[in-house]
Amino acid sequence: MSNDFSTPLNRKGTASLKWQRYEDQDVIPMWVADMDLPAPAAVQKALQQAVERGALGYGEVPQGLVEAFLDWCQQQYGWQPEAEWLVWLPGVVPGFNLAVEALTDSQDQLLIQTPVYPPIRVLGKLRDRQVQDVPLRAPVPGEKQWSLEVDTLAMQLQPKTRALLLCNPQNPTGRIYSRVELEEIARLAEDKNLLVISDEIWADLLLEEGAKHLPYPALSDAAAQHSVTLMAPSKTFNVAGLSCAVAIIPNPELRVPFRKAMRGLMPDMNYLGLLAAEAAWKEGHDWLQDLKQHLNSNLDLLETWLKDPAYPRRQLIGYCRPQSTFVAWLDVSPLELDNPYQTFLDAGVALSPGEAFGDDRYLRLNFGCPAAQLLEALQCMHQAIKA
């Protein structure tokens, strides 16, 4: 592995959301989903060159970025959208908020599946839409992954349900949905005239050997025509602070009102974000392969810690190895802690509370960091539960 993912980054005092929240405490932040790892050298070089030029004015999507993204889709997924389908955005979260605002009415319902990324969970409240939650099924003994049960979705669908929100790969469980599951979703959407809004921000961080990501609109032309798919380089290349994403909207009957709704509300694209995205998608492949190797190594460390027979309390924590992402979803309910988040915070590590994702029995751990940082955080967690 040629890239250095072992040297700690000092992010204190750098206006980092992740670190600044706990800056006045002796706490290791392992919560929000950005990595304490350096972005690819090609990205850093593109940004350094831009800063050295000195002019940081308004940005315009360059043709090179469009071509880089289309080539990336072909290389990674064996699928290439049309350039005219692309709508460039400052982020995936603004993208699915905009899709709901532009393409559904106030009386429409949204269908979500918890546990799920908090901005999807609160989407209905923010956009004044009713939400129906059909939870994912947790794995039972003998199963390795959470289940998206489309039959259950179909049975519980309400007449006013207009849009189904997918998070694939799924955050926080790390599940990659299969072609069969996605095809079942597509058939349901066709039958019930549903809009499918697919958050695929984790599409490239696949950790399971042999795993492939299947973009929702790549299923079929019919699926493409009822979909808004959102992608970004932010999680993959650790450039979330640069605000660059893209919506793939093949159907002009959806794309035109989506674009219209952007006017006056969606900020201009981040100039540096455009340059970073182009560099990442053009030159980031080898870096990404090294990153995935590092993340899997960190998962091995986490699993060794959880399964250590010398510490039976650790073995009580429920866990499924994520197929993707750099976050682990930990069932800490068997520990019978009064306030799990606070217990671990008091011990010196900040995790994401499961309540924000829809299940307070869990905590989410970000393992996108140097191994030494993960081990230090795990030692803090050990101190919290060793009794």
CATH number, position 291: 3.90.1150.10
**Do 336 and 363 belong to one domain?**
yes
> Minimal CA–CA distance to 368: which of 352, 384, 353, 380?
352
Q: What is the dihedral of CA 224, 242, 323, 295, to 10 degrees?
A: 160
Residue range of the domain that includes 354: 17-41+285-385
Write out pLDDT tens, residues 263-289.
Answer: 998 888 999 999 999 999 999 999 999
Report the distance separating Cα 56 and Cα 53, nearest Å. Answer: 8
Q: Are residues 236 and 293 in the same domain?
A: no
Domain end marker among 283, 317, 343: 283
134-143, 309-318, 359-368: segment of lowest average pLDDT: 134-143
Residues 138, 246, single domain; the answer is yes
Q: Are residues 223 and 290 in the same domain?
A: no
Q: Is the pLDDT of residue 316 over 60?
A: yes
User: How far apart are alpha carbons 89 and 244 in whole angstroms?
Assistant: 6
Give the C-alpha separation, 1 to 272, whole Å: 28
Q: Are residues 144 and 96 both part of a single domain?
A: yes
Q: What is the signed CA dihedral for 122, 319, 321, 189, rounded to 10 degrees?
A: -40
Instruction: State the total domains in the chain.
Output: 2
pLDDT of residue 16: 97
Is residue 387 predicted with pLDDT exceeding 80? Answer: no
Residue 52, pLDDT above cutoff 90: yes
Q: What is residue 268's predicted lDDT score, i.e. its pLDDT?
A: 85
Q: Does residue 375 belong to any structural domain of this protein?
A: yes
pLDDT band, very low/low/confident/very high, at 144 (cuts 50, 70, 90): confident
- Say whether both 203 and 161 belong to one domain: yes
Q: For residues 81 and 97, what is the distance between their CA atoms, to the nearest angstrom?
A: 22
User: How confident is residue 142, by pLDDT bands cut at 50, 70 and 90?
Assistant: confident
Q: Mean pLDDT of all residues in the chain?
A: 96
Write down the pLDDT at residue 267: 84
Paired tokens of 238: 């650790």
CATH number where 118 lies: 3.40.640.10
pLDDT of residue 44: 98
**Is 301 contained in some domain?**
yes
User: Which of residues 262, 283, 304 is at a domain's end?
Assistant: 283
Name the band, by pLDDT with cuts 50, 70 and 90, for residue 2. Answer: confident
Is residue 353, in this structure, part of any structural domain at all? Answer: yes
Does residue 10 lie in a domain region?
no
Query: Which phi and psi (to 5°) does residue 102 adopt?
Result: -85, -30
Residue 79: its H or E element: none
Q: Which pTM was predicted?
A: 0.97
Residue 369: both structure tokens together: 């960091």
Q: Are residues 247 and 312 in the same domain?
A: no
Tens digit of each residue's pLDDT (9 = 90 or more) over 191-245: 999 999 999 999 999 999 999 999 999 999 999 999 999 999 999 999 999 999 9
Same-domain check for residues 300 and 277: no
Does 46 map to a domain?
no
For residue 208, how many other CB atoms are within 10 A of its CB?
Answer: 17
Q: How far apart are CA 120 and CA 280, in angstroms?
A: 26
**Last residue within a domain, chosen from 283, 300, 320:** 283
What pLDDT does residue 1 have?
A: 58
Model confidence pLDDT, tens digit, residues 78-132: 999 999 999 999 999 999 999 999 999 999 999 999 999 999 999 999 999 999 9
145 in the same domain as 111: yes
How far is the C-alpha of 222 from the C-alpha of 186, rounded, in Å?
A: 8
Claim to verify: residue 340 and residue 296 sit in the same structural domain: yes
- What whole-number distance in Å separates Cα of residue 33 and Cα of residue 234? 10
